[in-house]
Amino acid sequence: MIVNYRSYEELSRCLSSLEPLRSGLATVTVVDQESDGAAAAAVAGAFPWAVIQERRTNDGFATGINAGAASGHAPFLLLLNPDCVAGTDFVARLVDFALTRPDAAIVGPRILNADGTIQGSARRFPGWSTVIAGRGSWLTKKFPNNPLSRWNLPALAEGAGTSHVDWVSGACMLVRRDAFDQAGGMDERFFLYWEDADLCRRLDELGWRTIYFPHAEVVHAGGGSSVHAYRESLAAFHASALMLFRKHARWPARWLAPLLHVVLQARLRTLLYVHRDRLRTARLPQRERSSHV
């Protein structure tokens, strides 16, 4: 299942990589947010085995995932970003492993960057250290081998193997449908970002496990959809981070939500300033703004 937003070139590459793996897929569903009719028709013509759900509005990633999940009945849901390219035997390896682990609600593969380096896709639940040593932090980018980043991002640890982790990236995850339904699917209040961490957290509270399985691989270029609305993507990232904290933080930590709001807004403004040239040249398509951003 793929949620697409104006990333038709990346989507075509993704579907091409899935074509040899079709025997292991019940249905390939593409939820096409704020669909471009002509572009969607071209994709449908090139890949007639994929089901394209055209939507007039962009209602967010979580809403798209729930819509796609509602259209099928397979025992597993494979969530895949349109800017991913699947590896050989990728689906079969994930499913075969999941069948040996009935306690696993979610299995996440090793995710590679376009240059072959490993993404920090397996992570610990966000905490205060995430602000300075998360996957996109300055510290992690400049000094990726520092102990704090390695602690936050176990997928980056040397020799990382199959292990129980707090959460894995929604760019690619295999989800057991029974667990997905038990959790009530994705929380649609998250417009974009952090909905994957929220799902893993809720499943953990229900007694399920999230497993990092590096013996299946997928390449994820990253940013395929968000590049079309960069400012909105940054705003959504920070808004969702605050929502995640408010939803899952325990008392008395919740009293710190106003402080976190200030920190996140300062970080957002800093990023907007640093990337001001990119924002000037970015093509920002007109669309209905979600109240969640």
Q: pLDDT per residue over 83-120, tens digit each?
A: 999 988 999 999 999 999 999 999 999 999 999 999 99
Domain shared by 104 and 183, yes or no: yes
Q: Are residues 163 and 244 located together in one domain of the fold?
A: no
Pair (141, 207) in one structural domain: yes
Q: Using CA atoms, how far apart are residues 165 and 196, in angstroms rounded to an integer?
A: 13
What pTM did the predictor assign?
Answer: 0.89
CA 129 from chain centre, in angstroms, equals 21
Q: Within its chain, how far is the Cα of 65 from the centroid?
A: 11
Residue 250 lies in domain: 227-281
Which pLDDT value is given to residue 223? 55
Q: How many CA atoms lie within 13 A of 80 on its CB side?
A: 31
What are 65-87's pLDDT values in tens digits? 999 999 989 999 999 999 999 98
Residue 133, Cβ density class (10 Å: 0-12 exposed, 13-18 middle, ≥19 buried): buried
Strand partners, 109: 213
Assess whether 27 and 167 both reside in one domain: yes
What's CA 51's distance to the chain center, in Å?
21
User: What pLDDT, on the 0 to 100 scale, is given for residue 224?
Assistant: 53
Residue 26 maps to a domain = yes
Identity of the amino acid at 249 = A
User: Is 291 inside a domain boundary?
Assistant: no
Q: 184, 210, 225 — which closes off a domain? A: 225
- Return all residues near 174 (Cβ < 8 A) that are at least 6 apart: 76, 77, 78, 79, 94, 95, 98, 106, 107, 108, 109
Verify that 218 and 240 share a domain, yes or no.
Answer: no
Q: What letter would DSSP give residue 118?
A: B
Within a domain: 286? no
From 217, 169, 226, select the one nearest 10 (Cα to Cα).
Answer: 226
Based on the fold, state whether residues 237 and 221 are members of the same structural domain: no
Q: How far apart are CA 194 and CA 61, in angstroms?
A: 10
Does 144 reside within a domain? yes
pLDDT at 227 exceeding the cut of 60: no
pLDDT at 199 > cutoff 80: yes
265 and 152, same structural domain? no
Examine residue 24 and state whether it is found in any structural domain, yes or no: yes
Of the three residues 225, 241, 258, the one that is the final residue of a domain is 225
143 & 188 share domain? yes
50 lies in the same domain as 100:
yes
Mean pLDDT value of segment 188-192: 96
Average pLDDT for residues 119-132, to the nearest whole number? 88
Residues 157 and 239 in one domain: no
Q: Is residue 293 part of a domain?
A: no
Does residue 260 contact residue 151 with C-beta atoms inside 8 Å? no
Cis, peptide link before residue 147, omega less than 30° from 0: no
Residue with tokens 């390896």: 93
- Does residue 289 lie in a domain region? no
Question: Is the domain of 255 the same as that of 195?
Answer: no
Average pLDDT for 191-200: 97
Q: Read off the pLDDT of each residue in 257-269 and give the average, rounded to a whole number.
A: 91
Pick from 126, 147, 149: which is nearest to 137 by CA? 149
pLDDT score at 228: 56
Please check whether residue 124 lies inside any domain of the structure. Answer: yes
The position carrying tokens 């417009």 is 191
β 209-220/104-112 pair status: parallel
Count of residues in the chain: 293
132-158 pLDDT, tens digit each: 888 878 888 888 888 898 889 998 877
Asked which of 206, 225, 244 is the last residue of a domain, the reply is: 225
Distance of CA 193 to the CA centre of its chain: 7
The pLDDT value given to residue 290: 30
Residue 225 and residue 95 in contact, taking contact as beta carbons nearer than 8 Å:
no
Q: Find out whether the peptide bond into 75 is cis, omega within 30 degrees of 0.
A: no
Give the type of residue at 107. V
- For the chain, what is the domain count? 2
Question: What element of type H or E holds 260?
Answer: helix 257-274
The answer on 36 and 14 residing in a single domain is yes
Q: What is the Cα 219 distance to its own chain's centre?
A: 13
